[in-house]
Amino acid sequence: MARVLIVGGHGKVARLLLPLLAERGDAVTAAVRNPAHAADVEAAGATALVADVETLGTGEIAALVAGSDAVVWSAGAGGGDPARTYAVDRDAAIRTVDAAQRAGVRRFVTVSYFGARPDHGVDPGDSFFPYAEAKAAADEHVRASGLDWTVLGPSTLTLEPGTGLIDTASASSGRVSRENVALTIRAALDDDTTIGRTIRFNDGDTPIAAAIAG
């Protein structure tokens, strides 16, 4: 049994991940910003933790993650407001990485997106630019952290049922179901060969465990 803290525990991917972990006996804690979401995550088998990482400092987040075996970052501002995008997708993500270091929690899996990189190529005038910048900075921070990190880069998300099959070889972004993303997070937590790797993926034809194996 592992103790897993999921930040952004009420997100669409996280709500698919919670029962996948809970059903196999993991002790799952879902950090949610809105108290009204606590019942939803508890119904999915997690313990709700009401905490707004956007406003908490590193020490406060460290107190929340202490005692966990792994942290999964699956939070996001949801776009629309550049200031909040930077505050959540960059700044809060970076503080959470630092908090995991401070608390001695080695395993850290972060959900990014397929095209995230410092040279992402998004035009500064594009509304997507703040998100691209925020994710690039957060991903680089986790890579430099010394933690046992994995960066997952799913392509465009869909609501299609998960097949358990993905493609990690393509150089171009396609589409991937949120359920397959949740399944990939679970598989990454189980596979230490994913530590220190960035794994970009689409829906595909290869079983997830085989597709992500190092």
Report the catalytic residues. 131
90 Ramachandran zone, left/alpha/beta (phi>0; psi -120 to 50):
alpha
Q: Are 187 and 213 in contact (CB under 8 A)?
A: no
Cα separation, 164 vs 107, whole angstroms: 23
Cα separation, 63 vs 21, whole angstroms: 22
Cα separation, 117 vs 84, whole angstroms: 20
